[in-house]
Amino acid sequence: SCCSTASTEWRYTYPLLEDAGLETWAVDILGWGFSNLETRPPCDIVSKREHLYQFWRSYIKRPMVLVGPSLGAAVAIDFAVNYPEAVSKLIFIGASVYAEGTKDMTRMPKFVPYAGVFVLKSLPLRLFATRLAFYKIPDGLFDWVQIGRLHCLLPWWEDATVNFMITGGYNVINQIKQVKQKCLVLWGEDDGIISNKQAYRLQQELPSAILRQVGQCGHIPHVEKPREAAKHVLDFLEGDSLDKADQASSLSSTLVST
């Protein structure tokens, strides 16, 4: 399964995984992507974890390969440590797992986090972040910005994001060494958002992990170099001689700020 800003992030790599014979799911984590949050449910870490677990229990029902890009890697680690029976293997892409969350924001006036998310969805910041995410600036850059920003315009997005921020966000640093599953750490060699040093650190701290890098590629290999990203995923799975029943792959979502 894969975690992304929204499931649309997987529109290039998703078909390649399906063509290879994998059962593949693209899931928006609660509060991110295009989740329907009209009732404004809590969107803290526990709620996100439980939402993904209930989805897995309802639709997948067997151990899955869980893929998390950027902050989605923190989602995947938190989920795998709490529900190890649901995860057979883990794949991290440009993993953002060494941040210490958003700290305690409960005493701040509400306008502070709301001001932050207003900036977060602004066109100038989204344009800057999109340029930074790619090694080579893509054709139609503004279209990429607009697509990546769509979910931020939903009427409940600001409330959901503020709820996530004031409840502390993800801090999985102490959970990394608890991961028991085999892992693939996939990184763009020219990642301008998360340092390659963190790729080596993560590979060393995970009990069982291999590191693969994609040349001339930025923070989102599954968008910028989908064929190479898919090949690394497939090589990782085939390297363990998995039978098709164990090759279920689900895609979930990352934090909006990535």
Q: Which residues are catalytic?
A: 70, 191, 219
CB of 2 within 8 A of CB of 71?
A: no
Token code pair at residue 254? 């990352």
User: E strands within the chain?
Assistant: 24-26, 64-69, 87-93, 182-188, 209-214, 249-251
Helix (H, G, I), strand (E, B) or coil at 105: coil
State residue 23 phi and psi, 5-degree precision.
-80, 115
Whole-number Å distance between alpha carbons of 232 and 229: 5
Nearest by Cα to 114 from 124, 103, 127, 105: 105
Token code pair at residue 158? 């600001």
Distances (CA, A) of 223 to 57, 71, 168, 197: 29, 16, 29, 22
Nearest by Cα to 220 from 187, 257, 195: 187
